[in-house]
Chain A
Amino acid sequence: MSTLLEVQGLGITFGGLRAVNDVSFCVSPGEIVSVIGPNGAGKTTLFNMISGVYRPGAGSVKLDGEDVTGLDPYLLARRGLSRTFQNLQIFQTMTVLENAIAGFHLQEKGPLLADLLNLPSTRRRARAAAEGARALLDRVRLGNAAEKEASSLSYGALKRLEIARALALKPRVLLLDEPAAGCNAVETEEIDHLIAEVAASGVAILLVEHDMKMVMRISNHIVVLDHGEKIAEGKPEEVSRNPKVIEAYLGTEAAHA
């Protein structure tokens, strides 16, 4: 399998604090790679660097061989990288359907003048995006909520809406930041299936997740961060036996016990 996302020596400093230091790993198409680590290990910071929200202080991010380090998220979106957020970033005043349609922005955007005059070309683009959005909403079981205001949805439903919006971009690389946080067991399992399905379609998936059962179940490869550094990586069973990892999670004494 060829590498699609390649992270090389990535690092960033916030006011003298090394939030992330020299982290490297690769994700191939169809592969699910999870980033785990204790709270404050730098997982979300790492995500924000890869997705262009923060400009890395060191290292590089390559997408299909092309250097995309520090590119704005909208340019990364055009190159097929899409993400969800740990703390939801939903367009609150828009309907559920409109949120999903927004994910089709790159496909539905067109000349401004056509939009101002509501020309047939605009209507055609909008209709195609709405159809795609409805299909995606059905896929994440939000089809019945399409016309509701997004702010009226439950937390778990909003998580699924974010995933639908990210999938609308037909990404080659998908970054999921704690997709199952705050979801109940049934919802977690649904998201679990959805992620596996998306990976099976050939998308490279990078996952941050606190639900260890889920991580161990669906990941092909796990990267462990602690204090901003990569302390281990490997297959789920390897990582779960690694003494460094046990130490980071449970403290020194447990590791020696």
Chain B
Amino acid sequence: MRAKHVTLLVLAAIVIASPFFFPSNYYYRVGSLIFVNGLAVTGIVILTGYAGQISLGHAGFAGIGAYACALAPIHLGLHPGLAAILGAVVSGAIAWLIGRPVLRLKGYYLAVATLGLGILVSMILANEAWLTRGPDGIEVPDLGLNDALEAIGIDLSNPQFWYFFSGLVLVLGAWVALNLHNSPTGRALRALHGSEIAARTVGIDVARLKLQAFVISAVYASLSGSLLALQNKFVTPDVAGFMHSIEMVTMAVLGGAASVLGAFFGAAILTTLPQVLTVFQEYEQIMLGLVMMLCMIFMRDGLLPSILRALRGRDK
């Protein structure tokens, strides 16, 4: 119970206090990117950290969420906000349909099957140009919320608005994920992660629960894709790309997949590190890979859990 409130307070404090240290408007942009990635990674925490299932295709759902915001307003005349919700529903429905057969697989078989799912979505987005305008991408209409705020006297620049809005969605997403952790469903997910056979003998419908985790995490990825598309006002098929899927999993594992706060730090580090490492110029990618390798070798539970444990060990 206490850990949940600490996590929420820390996240809220980061969202509210960070801008006091921002030297320029550009940092709002980086911050909101961190929150958007953090939201997708929170979904991975539920799927991988709680339930122990891996997906290398979740960017596919981010792609669906992102393109829903571009396409639904054009073809269905929907407001972009409603389009994001539609995207989440479609992502959840696709995850539900595909999850049933795919989640019977384990370990790397599951990884490869979900990998295929992600690639399939990005191929469709890139190739079905009549619908998606192809690899060059497509504009996304304005959400209009910032203008509405301005009308009631809250005057935010665009990067500022998206920073706070993404931060708010992230905190809500973390709240839901933390609720789940301590709930009967979350306990059942963590139980089947620990021992599937023991979970079945206590009456847990393992197939159904894995599917629920898969659908919930798909909705997180979808909403994260929608947020990204709405604030960029433009989207390309890259959002559904293989690298984006890998990024989500890497962020979660690097920070600590079993913990919402840990995964958020993973997202924060991997979002900012490439910008920090630009001082290494052409060796940037190598440094990034090196940092990730060292973290995994020396802190296998992820950065945050490992650091917390080291601190606790010193107290004793």
Contacts and interface: CB of A to CB of B under 8 A. Distances in A.
Interface of A: 51-53, 72-74, 76-78, 82-83, 85, 89-94, 98, 101-103, 105-106, 108-110, 112, 115-118, 122, 125-126, 129, 165-166, 168-169
A115 B201 contact: no
Chain B at the A interface: SS class: helix
Contact of A115 (B180, B194, B200): B180
B188 A109 contact: yes
Contacts of A106: 202-203
B201 A77 contact: yes
Contacts of B199: 74, 91, 102
Contact of A51 (B201, B205, B216): B201
B200 A77 contact: yes
Nearest to B198: A89
Contact of B258 (A72, A93, A115, A168): A93
Contacts of B204: 74, 102, 105
B194 A74 contact: no
B191 A91 contact: yes
B65 interface: no
Given A89-B195, A112-B212, A101 B201 contact: no
Contacts of A93: 190, 193-194, 258
Given A93-B193, A94-B191, A102-B191, A115 B185 contact: yes
A94 B190 contact: yes
B202 A110 contact: no
Contact of A78 (B182, B188, B203, B212): B203
A73 B195 CA distance: 13
Contacts of B201: 51, 73-74, 76-77, 82-83, 89, 166
Contacts of A103: 202
Contacts of A89: 195, 197-198, 201
Contacts of A110: 184
8 contacts: A74-B200, A77-B201, A94-B187, A98-B190, A101-B187, A102-B191, A105-B184, A112-B212
Contacts of A94: 187, 190-191, 194
Interface of B: 176, 179-180, 182-188, 190-191, 193-195, 197-206, 212, 216, 258
Contact of A73 (B185, B188, B200): B200
A91 B198 contact: yes
A102 B192 CA distance: 10
B158 to A, nearest CB: 31
Contact of B200 (A72, A90, A91, A129): A72
Nearest to B175: A118
A118 B193 CA distance: 22
Contacts of A118: 179, 182-183
Nearest to B201: A73
A116 B216 CA distance: 10
Contacts of B203: 74, 77-78, 105-106, 169
A237 B198 CA distance: 35
B260 to A, nearest CB: 14
A36 to B, nearest CB: 23
B195 A117 contact: no
Contacts of A90: 194-195, 198
B190 A115 contact: no
Given A110-B184, A122-B183, A105 B202 contact: yes
Given A102-B187, A122-B183, A168-B202, A117 B176 contact: yes
A165 B199 CA distance: 11
A117 B199 CA distance: 24
A169 B186 contact: no
Nearest to B203: A77
Nearest to A81: B201
- Counting chain A CB atoms within 10 Å of each CB, which of B176, B188, B205, B258 scores highest? B205
B202 A77 contact: yes
Nearest to B205: A74
A108 B191 contact: no
A126 B216 CA distance: 21
Contacts of B212: 112
Given A82-B201, A89-B197, A117-B176, A105 B188 contact: yes
Contacts of A109: 184-185, 188
Nearest to A111: B185
Contacts of B216: 116
Given A91-B191, A98-B190, 20 more contacts: A72-B200, A73-B200, A74-B199, A74-B206, A76-B201, A82-B202, A90-B195, A93-B258, A94-B190, A101-B187, A102-B202, A105-B203, A115-B180, A115-B185, A116-B176, A117-B179, A126-B182, A129-B184, A165-B202, A169-B202
Contact of A53 (B187, B190, B197): B197
Nearest to A83: B201
Nearest to A162: B198
